[in-house]
Chains A and B, each alone.
Chain A
């Protein structure tokens, strides 16, 4: 949500430049904008092509069904990492989405503007969205030590990632709720529904496209995150499937990080191939977000 508003804001002066004042300065500015866009896309393209060329030799079935191997990098795979990533993301979503949506609903629908506590929470949520990822890793590590949980487990990893994306989910959910017309709430309340019924039956359903988009984008960010998990002592050699909340695990970014630092070429090819898989996974998640948004927007 935040990005779409930013886009619409930034396209306004562009259009003005295209239609109205075509003086030299605005043309130079337009050129600079296009230049930076082209540079960004060019750099991304080079990176992608480079990774694909390096990894294409290892984009095979073994990458998906085999575990990592120290002795035979040519046959090693990212099975534990792929399953670990999926499992951690599911647990992260289970932790972060209900909490995030509930918090946003409270702040947006129930808390009054004068409520000091609500304003305090609001201020902190805004600030937390900008905190570096590794800080959340430290937070989760501290939490795990206090509670007495082993740090490198699915649950603690998911808690770190959930904390990381919680502010993003809260902010995007609030944006989505704010976009729901006031009349819908007023109509519901006028017909005798309680504020809670209004929220669960009218406001939240109407806000689903925005909430889903924000949430999935946040989850795909969590998917590519390595820093907080590395801090928790991310395992780099795991040859079993994660099978519970307290199971040890590795994720794609951790595995790629480990492979990329090895001296044998075979490991770096693996890293490139696994990067492509991660990229496809994240793109697929983003595509789902777009589909959900389009589906709900047209059906209304």
Chain B
């Protein structure tokens, strides 16, 4: 009997907390109508997905919110796949993606009645760098890069002639980003075929500056990092052309944009839910994102859209009505 009464108290407490939860829920719905001109926008936008695109959307959000302080934009980094899972379950209005949506993800969206539009927002490119005085490393094929970086190379591939018989028998010294970074994930996936698979006997650093210093101080060193960082240090390092099957291509903004710098360049996307498009604050934010894409890309250290890509993005937005 007594226990029953205790149970009632506990049940009441639980019901109370649930009621509280219901009250809290109201804040997440947008309260601004935004129909009148100059009306302050309010509401919240939830964006999730790729940790590569995350900083880009964060930068866009930060710039947007300085002008529209009533809009709450939050960004999560569950990864491109994790982001799509939430997006297709209707839990986020915007999904950040470092690759186009896969067919099975499309099916999931269709099953849950989530209609969406892809919008290109920036370009990401990696650059393989060597010392300025290095004469033999001008172009590397993807196979050679794989020989150099694959997990099996640990402790075995130690001189350059092992990578290509034409190279001198000089010792190899490697620099790269730490395993936490999106750059590392991208490079290992494209070169070694599996995300996160890399030889381990290189000097890892989350600080790109360390890679610059390491490579510029050793004639036989090689490293890799984001293209925009190479642009800032173009006087200290030399970029290696990459042969992805169609001949050697020197990394450049243009080569990254037109897709010829394979496989170390990729476009970055956001996916927006058509349902969210009715909200004025959402519409305003997406338009702001593309209108200011050059500034945003620069802030997040990516390659801005080309004129043609910007046109594509605008027409993608236009298709939303």
Contact = CB atoms under 8 A, between A and B. Distances in A.
A237 B13 contact: no
Given A151-B91, A237-B54, A244 B62 contact: no
B63 A71 contact: yes
A110 B2 CA distance: 10
Contacts of A236: 54, 58, 75-77
Given A110-B3, A236-B76, A263 B207 contact: yes
Contacts of B51: 261
B6 A196 contact: yes
Given A102-B6, A243-B27, A263-B181, A235 B76 contact: yes
Given A70-B299, A236-B75, A245 B21 contact: yes
A233 B238 CA distance: 40
A261 B62 CA distance: 20
B24 interface: yes
Q: Tell me what chain B mostly uses at the interface: helix, strand, loop, or mixed.
A: helix
A155 B18 CA distance: 9
B278 interface: no
Interface string A232-249: 011111111001111110
A69 interface: yes
Interface residues of B, number: 51
A233 B54 contact: no
A246 B28 CA distance: 8
Given A261-B206, A263-B207, A151 B181 contact: no
A239 to B, nearest CB: 6
Contacts of B75: 235-237
B28 A247 contact: yes
B97 interface: no
B27 A94 contact: no
A85 interface: no
Contacts of B78: 233
B62 A106 contact: no
B206 A70 contact: no
A258 interface: yes
Interface of B: 2-3, 5-6, 10, 13, 17, 20-21, 23-25, 27-28, 44, 46, 48, 51, 54-55, 57-59, 61-63, 65, 72-78, 82, 86, 89, 91, 177, 180-181, 183, 206-209, 225-226, 229, 299-300
Given A196-B6, A245-B17, A263-B207, 19 more contacts: A70-B299, A102-B10, A110-B3, A145-B89, A150-B28, A150-B91, A152-B76, A155-B24, A233-B76, A235-B74, A236-B58, A236-B76, A237-B54, A239-B74, A246-B25, A246-B28, A248-B28, A263-B229, A265-B209
